[in-house]
Amino acid sequence: MVNWIQRMLSRKQEATVLAVPHTVTLPQTGEVTISRTLDCIGAACPRPQLLTMRVLDELEEGEVIELLSDNPATVETLPALMFSQGGTHMATLKRGDHWRIYMRKGVYEVPKKRF
């Protein structure tokens, strides 16, 4: 069986939303402040997507969400979800056995370097 399926079956499928602001450095973007962290490790689709939409409704324009997931389907669908919700998928980073997905409410352009 695929590892993420084994983890999913062995864990509760509850997701946690943490409202503890912190900063991270993202490739191509630099330092950003995270408004909410959604821990969806062990949760299957569509739970992470539905939770993301709920949290987006609570945020102000420009705020950033960090979503933790070990489900490959979630990782594949979130960029399209953000596009459909008028948001921006900023980065997806693989960290050990899970991914960290960074999304901004609203459209965001990466600052261009000046020469």
Residue 106, Cβ density class (10 Å: 0-12 exposed, 13-18 middle, ≥19 buried):
middle
- What is the pLDDT at residue 107? 79
110: confidence class by pLDDT, cuts 50, 70, 90: low
For residue 94, give both structure tokens: 């693989």
Q: What is the mean pLDDT of residues 92-108?
A: 92
Q: What is the mean pLDDT of residues 49-57?
A: 93
Contacts of 10 (CB under 8 A, 6+ apart): 42
- What is the pLDDT at residue 108? 62
For residue 25, give both structure tokens: 């450095």
pLDDT at 103 over 90: yes
Q: What is the mean pLDDT of residues 92-106?
A: 95
* Beta pairing class for 64-69 and 30-39: parallel
With a pLDDT cut of 70, the percent of the chain lying above it is 80
Helix (H) or strand (E) holding 49, with range, is: helix 47-58
**AA identity, residue 99:** W
Q: 62, 91 in Cβ contact below 8 A?
A: no
- What digits encode the pLDDT tens for the residues 86-95? 899 999 999 9
Domain 3-104 has what CATH class? Answer: alpha beta
Domains of the chain, residue spans: 3-104
